[in-house]
């Protein structure tokens, strides 16, 4: 592993959703053994590392984002010894390993929440969480305030709905199985510093911080005034989103991360607009914050240029390069989001090639390199708690990966035949599998490999650099350009007709260029200028 503390600035990281990646023990759920066996595949893509979503002990109500033990491995996924082996094997392949930490909430089965429940009203244990008296109503008590849960309904539940003596409520910005920690209690900060050190001491290279902008709630927990619908996560609730005090958490975490050699890295799920999100990446806070404003976009040249320009302005103001992503386990797959039929396929491919050419770090979500579409998971098979509470299902982006053309073992996902995967795989999944795409030199899988090899060479030759900015523009309403440095640009044709490319040499394109100098619709080109 290179000892370079700036490696993250232009790193490409592959997001692994372990339960859907590879099932090593044949129980239908992906696990650490499966991931270990497939690490060489990830390395073959040419990425710099992996981010693993939670595999810690959990009742799995929110697929692991309801953590009951921050410093363990859920037996569903394997053992701590297997994790250590995985870390060693990843490092041997020159892959960094970033884990998810979920500091906004835990599982209602977490021992500290259980002891808060048991200790009763007025106890110090209850101050670890937001546990409050309700308002007295005519028929029954009402919750302490009007906040809504991201997963639907009130963000408050009674600690013990049947009790006449314990009439307190607890806050859960997500499901009732996920009580929010009270970050105004310093003991919570101390607890999480120990969690960070536990994983950093084991050798993990960084942490992705879940719902990073929402840990602190406004003093006194005031009502939301005006519109109180939860639109697109928590951004619409100013009482929980982006409270100034939260920055103190990341300054403390940065000091912890910097005390290791090599320094560990922090990447935040900061679902805010570019200017606000970039404040989390000031020099003494996190290293990266996902560019959510970009991840939310459709196929629209003007919108890409406007957001790209905002992100570049935020970079100039705060110093850290943007961190690009178009997919993750919460978002609709780009093949489906960018259009229907063949045009969605071409656009997702073009979108991924564009992403890998932009200045800054980039994250690829497992299956994005196969151009997997969103799956319409049968209603009875949906597992997402958001589905039952608000009618939105994120399951369609979480279907197990197809490795082979063999339907028996869920297309190579499970080590054994005849096991039902935790989410059903569609019948045509084999045609999109790694095996199929390995044999096709024009597949998106091969395009990703070529792009990442080229990206490395261009960086080594000094053509592109992690210090580059991006100069965004739209031409004729359809050609999007992002010029980085003086020698390199990314061009994306986002209209209905072919568009003339700027002068230069096309070093890679997502579709064949049949007419010289023209970029066909729904295609991306990387252009070198002499």
Smallest separation (angstroms) from ligand TEU to the CB of 175:
8
With beta carbons less than 8 A apart as the criterion, state whether 346 and 511 touch. Answer: yes
| Tokens representing residue 497 in the block | 């007709």
Encoding tokens for residue 205? 């290279």
| Residue 278, helix vs strand vs coil | helix
Closer to ligand TEU by CB, 23 or 210: give it.
210
Provide the H-helix boundaries in 186-245. 186-202
Phi and psi angles of residue 479, each rounded to the nearest 5 degrees, phi first: -100, 115
Residue sitting closest to ligand TEU (CB): 233
Q: Which is nearer to ligand TEU, 146 or 390 (CB)?
A: 390
Q: Tell me how far, at minimum, the Cβ of 150 lies from ligand TEU, in Å.
A: 5
18 and 32 Cβ atoms separated by less than 8 Å: yes
- For residue 35, the minimal CB distance to ligand TEU (Å) is 18
For ligand TEU, the closer CB: 329 or 455:
329
CB neighbourhood size of 162 (10 A): 6
Q: How far is CA 7 from CA 90, 252, 429, 465, in A?
A: 16, 21, 35, 12
Q: Hey, what are 527's tokens?
A: 């252009």
Sign of CA dihedral 162, 164, 166, 169: positive
Q: For 149, how many CA atoms within 13 A lie in the half-sphere containing its CB?
A: 25
Strands 288-289 vs 323-325: parallel, antiparallel or unpaired: unpaired
Q: Which residues are catalytic?
A: 210, 269
Q: What's the full length of the chain, in residues?
A: 530
Cα(484)–Cα(452) distance, integer angstroms: 17
Kindly state the DSSP code that residue 524 receives in the 8-state scheme. E
Among 248, 272, 151, residue whose Cα is nearest residue 192:
248
Q: Which is nearer to ligand TEU, 63 or 510 (CB)?
A: 63
Of the pair 249, 474, the CB lying nearest ligand TEU is at: 249
Alpha carbon of 305 to those of 84, 319, 467, 470, 497: distances in Å? 43, 20, 19, 10, 19
Query: Please, what sign has the CA dihedral across residues 166, 167, 168, 171?
Result: positive
Cα 386 → chain centroid:
17
Q: How far is the CB of 285 from ligand TEU (least distance, A)?
A: 19
Smallest separation (angstroms) from ligand TEU to the CB of 183: 15
* Minimum distance, C-beta of residue 357 to ligand TEU, in the bound complex (Å): 26
Token pair recorded at residue 60: 């799995």
* Least spacing, CB of residue 398 vs ligand TEU, in Å: 9
What the block records as the tokens of 196 is: 């960070």
Name every residue whose Cβ is closer than 8 Å to that of residue 173 and which is 6 or more positions away in sequence.
104, 105, 147, 149, 150, 155, 180, 211, 214, 234, 240
Tell me which residues touch ligand TEU (CB under 6 A): 62, 65, 102, 150, 174, 210-211, 233-234, 269, 271, 329-330, 394
E-only strand ranges, 461-517: 471-475, 479-484, 488-493, 499-500, 505-509
CB of 234 to ligand TEU, least distance (A): 6
Least Å distance between CB 430 and ligand TEU? Answer: 28
Smallest distance from the beta carbon of 232 to ligand TEU, in angstroms?
A: 6
Closest CA to 227 of 146, 290, 159, 306: 146
Closest-CA residue to 501 (of 472, 477, 524): 524
Nearer to ligand TEU, 93 or 392 (CB): 392
Tokens encoding 253: 């975490």
Which residue, among 354, 345, 332, has the nearest Cα to 448 in the 3D structure? 354
Q: In what order do the strands lie in the sheet with 479-484?
A: 471-475, 479-484, 488-493, 523-528, 505-509
């Amino acid at each position: 592993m290179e000892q370079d503390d700036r490696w993250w600035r232009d790193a490409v990281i592959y997001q692994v959703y372990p339960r859907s990646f590879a099932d090593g023990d044949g129980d239908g759920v992906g696990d650490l053994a499966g991931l270990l066996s497939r690490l060489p595949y990830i390395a073959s893509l040419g990425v710099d590392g992996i981010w693993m979503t939670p595999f810690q002990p959990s009742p799995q109500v929110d697929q692991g984002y309801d953590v009951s033990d921050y410093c363990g491995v859920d037996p569903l996924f394997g053992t701590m010894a297997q994790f250590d082996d995985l870390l060693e094997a990843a490092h041997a392949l020159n892959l960094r390993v970033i884990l998810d930490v979920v500091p906004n909430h835990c599982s209602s089965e977490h021992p500290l929440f259980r002891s808060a429940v048991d200790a009763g009203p007025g106890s110090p244990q209850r101050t670890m969480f937001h546990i409050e008296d309700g308002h007295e109503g005519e028929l029954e008590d009402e919750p302490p305030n009007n906040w809504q849960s991201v997963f639907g309904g009130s963000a408050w539940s009674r600690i013990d709905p049947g009790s006449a003596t314990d009439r307190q409520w607890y806050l859960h910005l997500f499901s009732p199985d996920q009580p929010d920690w009270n970050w105004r209690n310093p003991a919570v900060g101390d607890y999480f510093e120990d969690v960070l050190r536990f994983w950093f001491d084991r050798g993990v290279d960084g942490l992705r911080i879940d719902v990073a902008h929402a840990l602190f709630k406004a003093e006194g927990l005031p009502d939301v005034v005006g519109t109180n619908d939860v639109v697109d996560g928590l951004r619409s609730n100013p009482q929980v989103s982006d409270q100034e005090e939260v920055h103190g958490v990341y300054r403390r975490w940065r000091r912890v991360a910097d005390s290791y050699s090599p320094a560990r890295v922090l990447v935040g799920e900061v679902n805010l607009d570019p200017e606000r999100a970039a404040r989390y990446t000031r020099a003494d806070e996190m290293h990266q914050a996902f560019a959510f404003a970009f991840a939310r976009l459709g196929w629209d040249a003007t919108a890409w240029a406007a957001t790209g320009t905002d992100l570049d302005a935020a970079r100039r103001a705060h110093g850290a390069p943007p961190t690009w992503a178009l997919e993750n386990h919460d978002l609709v797959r780009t093949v489906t989001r960018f259009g229907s039929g063949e045009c969605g396929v071409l656009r997702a491919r073009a979108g991924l090639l564009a992403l890998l050419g932009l200045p800054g770090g980039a994250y690829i979500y497992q299956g994005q390199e196969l151009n997997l579409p969103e799956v319409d998971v049968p209603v009875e098979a949906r597992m997402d708690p958001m589905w039952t509470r608000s009618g939105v299902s994120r399951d369609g982006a979480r279907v197990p990966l197809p490795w082979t053309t063999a339907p028996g073992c869920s297309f190579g996902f499970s080590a054994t035949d005849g096991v039902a995967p935790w989410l059903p795989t569609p019948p045509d999944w084999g045609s999109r599998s790694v095996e199929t795409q390995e044999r096709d030199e024009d597949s998106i899988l091969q395009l990703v490999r070529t792009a990442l090899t080229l990206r490395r060479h261009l960086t080594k030759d000094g053509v592109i650099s992690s210090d580059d900015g991006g100069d965004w523009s739209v031409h004729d309403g359809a050609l999007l350009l992002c010029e980085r440095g003086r020698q390199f640009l990314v061009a994306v044709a986002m209209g209905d007709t072919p568009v003339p490319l700027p002068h230069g040499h096309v070093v890679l394109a997502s579709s064949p260029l049949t007419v010289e100098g023209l970029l066909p619709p729904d295609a991306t080109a990387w252009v070198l200028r002499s």
